[in-house]
Structure 1
Amino acid sequence: MPLPERVSDLAAYDLLLSVARLGSVGAAARAHGISQPSASSRLRHLERRLGLQLLERSPRGSRLTEQGALVADWARTAVDAAAFLDAGVTSLLGTTESRLQVAASMTVAEYLLPQWLAVLRTRAPHTSVALTAGNSDEVAAAVREGRAHLGFVEAPDVPRGLTARTVGRDELTVIVAPAHPWARRRSGITAGELSATPLVSRERGSGTRRYLERALDGVGAVPLAAPLLELPSTTAIKTAVADGVAPAVLSSLALTAELANGTVVAVRVRDLDLTRALRLVHPRTSPPTGAAGELAAIARHDCPPTAA
């Protein structure tokens, strides 16, 4: 069965993803090395082909509509797959000169690294990348044991034996099903209410879980209640929350589509700062050089100061 015409131009979807990530058509155009009029023309052509309005345009700039955010989220998997396909073909052609081993926590691996690797591909086309995703403890172990040249973690502390640099910040968000009582709490909830509530959570060793425990402890809340359910992936947690199992706390980077389509609702915590650092880690005696140094520079430049 041939690929449907409306999804055949992945370059246009890649451009849409850059608008979502960078916040404007102009910034996306610069990232892709094309003019702003050309970028606008490609995006309008994509809108006509889909029959959807993807961007809301104003004199102050352009931003994604709810439909545009959903399309961008769905397109990410296809664009990432195309990048991996290209890397695989390149390796078969025998042009690979170096191999970069990267370990990343789940949030960074799913929502930030694909874009960083796409930029790296343009700067170091003969570098192949082997990516391992896991929780922050697993990432730190991979870097310490020499199985990864560098890693990206979300944990609140610097892993033992490693040097860390902050590359950006991420905001955790409490989410519930639309029918949950917290969804109607316009004033939000307190840190005490959150800490006393069994959540749907990642396993121990997860940077998100450890950061939440540390943040609650910092405001004097009671220790975080034992999870109602532990699940191994962000997607599984979002599904459980939408099904009404229990609230959860996840990176805002992972929630664009679900918040836009209303399958989950964000809940404000009045007395708790849930902004955390995203860190690059490497061995103390081996600062990143070559392709690893290039990727580190891309991450520091590209990761938003605050992800919301």
Structure 2
Amino acid sequence: MLGFAILLWLMSLVGWWYLSSDSVEKPELAGSLQPGQLVHDKLPRRWLAWVPATLSAPAPVVIVLHGSLGSAEQMMEATHYGFNVLAERDGFIAVYPNGIDRHWNDCRASADYAANKYNVDDVGFLAAMLDMLAADHTIDRNRVYVTGLSNGGHMAYRLALEAPELIAGIAPIAASLPVTENLGCESTGVAMPTLIINGTADSVNPYEGGLVTVLGNASRGAVRSSVDTARYWASLAGHGDDGELHDWLQREADAVTSVTSTHWRAPGRAPVVLVTVENGGHTIPHPTHRQPRLLGTTSNEFDAIELIWSFFASGGMEIPGAAGRPTAGN
């Protein structure tokens, strides 16, 4: 009996070790968290919007999409409330929508979650959400940006492929485009400023491409490699295959992860940047906070939230960690 109790204790300890993450305190900010809702395609849809005390006029909008089994609240915490802090500083609105049954209907045709099986119109929902935000606030429809983790990153790809007129840039994290055989979206062929942040040790979304698996579920099918995904967006913008590779300075000499980035930039063309986190997992890089070990290593080499907003705000011209560090082409 004692042995069984010890075994249960050890199992719970191992489970805690893999599933626990660093606690994140809500920052004290002057703005407000405003819930929103509407009915779209006969489905009730909801979101949370962080509206800073002082808005730019007109205000940019950053849509932040949760991953599989996530929620608006969970995504706010997973991004360490960073977009709220930056919104307060720079006067934009950060919006956290909820998917149907905690998923988005992204471009992976074979996925078995409800949003995909029932072909939920998430593009239409997000467009209607923006219309409601515009009715309540003076927003800049030419500066609407989308980021997301995993399933949320895949939804960002869908918006860029099918409704580029709605948005001005995307920043998927831990997500790659589906292979042609698994692509459930129709591309308009329009170029889009794109920042991709992927880890080489991501056990869910393989950096080199291949089958996506989530807790043993392989229904999401295969994706392209991270480099091929970036090259797809670069080709739409008229860039060549070879981007400019940058090595990033390491913040800590004994860091487990390191960072490089490949840039496709030219005057008059949409910029594309692939940030590669060597040994990084299915996680959002952050200087101090760690996500669950089950998802792999969280890089502490940079703040992904700050990087994403810098990319959006500068029109894709600012990648702080890579400044002045070009090496050979990719």
TM-score by length of 1: 0.28
Structure with the greater relative contact order (CA < 8 A, sep ≥ 6): 1 or 2? 1
- Which one has the bigger helix percentage? 1
TM-score by length of 2: 0.27
